[in-house]
C-alpha cells in the first residue's frame, strides 16, 4: 500500500499523484549548503550555526507549502496541515536534518524532504486528507535522539546537562534552536496521540 493510500485516499486519486524527483534533489542539494567545515565537508551538527540556518530554511519551505510550523519544547519542528476531520489523530511523518560530521547529503535529509514532498503533492492535486498531517523534524537526532526522546519519553535533568558535540549542553542547544528545556514534560506525546508515524530512510 502506498504512502498516499495510507492517508485514506482512493486508489484512483493516489495513483494520479506523482513525486517531483527534480524538486526533491534540488532541495537536498540546497540543504547541503548549510553547515560546512573549513575543508568544505558537511558539518551540520546539531545546535551549530549550520543546523540553525538549515532549520530556518526548512521552516520557510514549510510555510511556502501552507504548513503552520512551530518549535516544541524539545526543539522539534512540527508543521501542521489540517484534515477534513479535526477530531482524528494526526498522521505524522518526517526525520531529522542534523548530521554527523561528513555524514553525506541523504541521511535524515531524504526523510525530511520526502515528507515535505508529500505535502507538495497533496497541495498540487488539491487533496485534503481525513486526518490532520504533521511533518516533524526532530532536533539533534544524531547526538542522542534528543528531540525524539523529548517527544516520546522525556529527558532527565542530568541528560539536559550533558555536553553535545557542538560544545553546548543539551539544554543550551535546545534553547539555541528555539526550544524550551524547562518545559520538556509538555512535549511528551502519549501512546495514541498520533495515529501513525512514517519515515522514509536511506537504507
pLDDT tens-digit readout, 61-94 = 999 999 999 999 999 999 999 999 999 999 999 9
pTM (2 d.p.):
0.90
Cα–Cα dist 36/45, whole Å: 10
Q: 79-103 burial string, b = 16+ CB within 10 Å, else e? A: bbbebeeeeeebbbbbbbbbbbeeb
For residue 37, the model assigns a pLDDT of 85
Cα–Cα dist 168/189, whole Å: 26
Cα–Cα dist 89/68, whole Å: 17
For residue 203, the model assigns a pLDDT of 66
Q: State the pLDDT confidence band at 1, using cuts at 50, 70 and 90.
A: very low
Q: State the pLDDT confidence band at 42, using cuts at 50, 70 and 90.
A: confident
Domains defined along the chain, listed by start:
5-198 (3.40.630.10)
pLDDT tens-digit readout, 132-144 = 999 999 999 999 9
Amino acid at each position: 500500500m502506498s504512502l498516499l493510500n495510507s492517508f485514506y485516499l482512493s486508489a484512483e486519486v493516489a495513483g494520479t499523484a506523482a513525486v517531483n524527483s527534480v524538486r526533491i534533489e534540488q532541495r537536498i542539494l540546497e540543504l547541503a549548503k548549510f553547515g560546512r567545515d573549513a575543508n568544505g565537508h558537511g558539518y551540520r551538527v546539531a545546535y551549530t550555526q549550520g543546523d540553525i540556518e538549515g532549520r530556518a530554511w526548512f521552516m520557510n519551505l514549510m510555510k511556502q507549502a501552507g504548513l503552520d510550523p512551530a518549535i516544541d519544547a524539545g526543539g522539534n519542528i512540527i508543521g501542521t496541515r489540517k484534515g477534513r476531520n479535526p477530531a482524528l489523530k494526526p498522521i505524522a511523518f518526517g526525520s531529522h536534518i542534523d548530521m554527523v560530521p561528513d555524514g553525506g547529503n541523504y541521511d535524515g535529509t531524504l526523510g525530511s524532504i520526502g515528507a515535505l514532498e508529500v505535502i507538495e503533492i497533496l497541495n498540487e492535486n488539491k487533496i485534503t486528507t481525513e486526518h490532520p498531517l504533521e511533518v516533524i523534524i526532530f532536533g539533534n537526532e544524531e547526538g542522542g535522539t534528543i528531540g525524539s526522546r523529548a517527544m516520546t519519553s522525556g529527558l532527565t535533568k542530568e541528560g539536559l546537562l550533558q555536553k553535545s558535540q557542538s560544545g553546548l549542553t543539551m539544554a543550551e542547544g535546545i534553547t539555541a534552536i528555539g526550544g524550551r528545556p524547562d518545559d520538556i514534560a509538555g512535549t511528551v506525546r502519549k501512546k495514541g496521540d498520533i495515529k501513525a508515524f512514517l519515515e522514509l530512510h536511506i537504507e
